[in-house]
Structure 1
Amino acid sequence: MISISKQDSLITVAVAGEFTLNDFRQFEDEVLYQVHLGSKVNILLDLRDMLSYTVDVAWGELAFVREHGSEVGRVAVVTDNQWQAWSAWVSGLLTDADVVVFSDYDEAEKWVSAWPTESE
């Protein structure tokens, strides 16, 4: 299950339980809509309650990052899971976005919200 909220150029996504392809498509649509408005998007991705994801989500994520990675400014991933942190690191290699993993939600929100006012 996925929960998405938007404020200006920040999209906040929380995943609970299994992250499915339908959930990913919702996320993708939100990002593409924001990009269509003409601005880079920042993403706060809260994975603390994610239990699993389907293989098609992983494949979809890689394709999305390769195609739209230059349209993202910052991605803050909140997780304590080593595999999710590793996945975020790999995704960061495929994009121009600044991807950082946090264990503290408030720190992640502060960091991702500072862009573009903070010097890159």
Structure 2
Amino acid sequence: MISISHENDYIQTVVFGEFTLQDYREFEQAVLYQSEFHGPVALLFDLHEMLSYTLDMALEEIKFVREHGQIFQRVAVVSSDQWVTWSAWISRLFTDAEIGMFTESDDAKTWLMEETDLNGATPA
């Protein structure tokens, strides 16, 4: 199950239990909407409660990031799982976005807010 909320400066996504293809497609829609109407996307991806993911979801993630990696400004990933950390580092191959890894959600939010203003632009 997935929870997506649009905060002032970023999209917050929290995954609970199994992360499925249907969940990921819901995430894709939110990101594409944000990008089209509000510009580059800052994202907080909280995976602390994720227990597993489906293979089709993982393949869709690779496809989506390869096709749309340029729309991401910053991505904060919250997880203590080493496989998730490894996956986030692999994603760097397909996007120019800054990717930060965190074990605490508050640290991730602070990092996103330090570099993102209300217009989604990075301060000079």
Q: TM-score, normalised by structure 1?
A: 0.93
Residue 114 in structure 1 maps to residue 94 in structure 2: no
Which residue does the alignment assign to 2:86? 86
- Within 5 Å, which residues of 2 pair with 1:13-32? 13-32=13-32
What is the one-letter code of the residue matched to 1:77?
V
Question: 2:44 & 2:94 partners in 1: Cα distance?
Answer: 18
Which residue does the alignment assign to 2:40? 40
Q: TM-score, normalised by structure 2?
A: 0.91
Question: 1:116 & 1:77 partners in 2: Cα distance?
Answer: 16
CA displacement at 1:112 relative to structure 2: 1.4
CA displacement at 1:9 relative to structure 2: 4.1
Higher strand share: 1
Which residue does the alignment assign to 1:7? 7
Which residue does the alignment assign to 2:73? 73
Note the residue ranges of structure 2 that are not aligned, 5 or more in a row.
Answer: none
Which residue does the alignment assign to 1:61? 61
Is the CA contact (8 Å cut-off) linking 1:44 and 1:109 kept in structure 2? yes
Note the residue ranges of structure 1 that are not aligned, 5 or more in a row.
Answer: none
Q: How many residues align?
A: 120
- Within 5 Å, which residues of 2 pair with 1:86-105? 86-105=86-105
Is the CA contact (8 Å cut-off) linking 1:9 and 1:40 kept in structure 2? no
CA displacement at 1:115 relative to structure 2: 2.8
CA displacement at 1:7 relative to structure 2: 1.8
CA displacement at 1:97 relative to structure 2: 0.7
- Comparing 90-99 and 74-83, the one that deviates more: 90-99
Q: Which runs of 4+ in 1 moved over 2 A?
A: 113-120
> Residues 29-84 of structure 1: CA distance to partner in whole angstroms, max 9, x if unpaired?
00000111041011100000100000111111111111111111000000000001
**2:48 partner SS:** strand
Identity over aligned pairs, percent:
48
CA RMSD of aligned residues (A): 1.4
Is the CA contact (8 Å cut-off) linking 1:73 and 1:115 kept in structure 2? no
> Residues 68-107 of structure 1: CA distance to partner in whole angstroms, max 9, x if unpaired?
1111100000000000110011012211111111011101
